[in-house]
């Protein structure tokens, strides 16, 4: 029950600060952009946009959420509450993942994969991966400028290889699935042949990133408000 309340609290917090309004605006903007394209070009653009925005926005929104919590001393309260670091992380990841899933599926109806099951898994997996990255960075910084600088390496590694991969470079190479973003892209495209390997790769990376995020949040809670708790 406590886990549900944590997720509910994150959803309310996100609604209060207009995150859902931003997602709705994103839907309108992208649907307008998609209307100018057709065929394979449109499918490629839809896949890249779904990967780089609704899924990957978890990283950017996560940093904003954690900074807001720090500025309002919410993390201080959470640090001394019965809420565990695992529950804190799951609340953030799942609350962002739900809205990312909704937005991503809406956009995929405009093009891309016809396999909406794999597509849905890919959208949620991408959101989880980038949300965990956002938590790792957000737990270590104290200002928006710091967050922007710290996320640059994640953006370079997370976006550029995957976009090049989706365009066609080494698309049939299973070795590329070592990059979780490439696995997400294969799922977004509904590629059954690569689905199992993609899911395994993504699952391994999620476990690793969750472990790192847990360590980062524990340290953030211990040093909350600049003092050891």
pLDDT at 203: 95
pLDDT of residue 63: 77
Distance CA 97, CA 127 (A): 6
pLDDT for 229 equals 38
Q: Give the integer Cα–Cα distance in Å for 215 and 34.
A: 41
- Model pTM greater than 0.75? yes
Per-position pLDDT tens, the chain of length 229 = 666 767 777 777 677 767 777 778 878 888 888 888 777 777 778 888 888 776 667 677 787 788 877 877 777 777 777 778 888 898 889 888 888 888 888 888 776 556 788 888 998 999 899 899 989 988 888 777 788 788 888 888 888 888 888 887 777 788 888 999 999 989 988 888 889 999 999 999 999 999 999 999 888 888 764 444 3
Q: Is 88 left (phi over 0), alpha (psi -120 to 50) or beta?
A: alpha
**DSSP letter string over 174-210?**
GGGGGSHHHHHHHHHTT-HHHHHHHHHHHHHHHHHHH
Q: What pLDDT score does 152 carry?
A: 82
Sign of the CA dihedral running 105, 173, 158, 28: negative
Residue 112 pLDDT: 58
Give the CB-side neighbour count of residue 21, counting CA atoms within 13 A.
6
Neighbours of 57 (CB within 10 A): 24
Write down the residue that tokens 């890919």 correspond to: 122
């Amino acid at each position: 029950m406590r886990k549900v309340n944590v997720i509910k609290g994150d959803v309310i917090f996100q609604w209060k600060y207009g995150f859902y309004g931003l997602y709705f605006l994103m839907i309108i903007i992208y649907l307008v952009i998609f209307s100018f394209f057709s065929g394979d070009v449109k499918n490629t653009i839809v896949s890249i946009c779904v990967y780089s925005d609704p899924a990957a926005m978890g990283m950017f929104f996560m940093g904003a959420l954690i900074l807001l919590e720090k500025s309002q001393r919410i993390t201080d309260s959470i640090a001394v509450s019965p809420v565990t670091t695992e529950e804190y992380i799951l609340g953030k990841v799942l609350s962002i993942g739900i809205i990312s899933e909704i937005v991503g599926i809406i956009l995929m109806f405009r093009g891309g994969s016809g396999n909406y099951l794999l597509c849905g898994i890919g959208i949620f997996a991408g959101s989880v991966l980038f949300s965990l990255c956002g938590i790792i960075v957000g737990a270590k910084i104290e200002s928006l400028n710091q967050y922007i600088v710290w996320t640059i390496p994640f953006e370079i590694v997370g976006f550029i290889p995957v976009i090049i991969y989706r365009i066609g470079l080494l698309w049939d190479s299973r070795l590329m699935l070592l990059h979780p973003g490439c696995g997400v892209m294969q799922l977004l495209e509904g590629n059954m042949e690569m689905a199992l390997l993609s899911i395994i790769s993504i699952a391994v990376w999620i476990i690793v990133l969750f472990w790192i995020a847990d360590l980062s949040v524990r340290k953030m809670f211990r040093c909350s408000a600049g003092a050891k708790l």
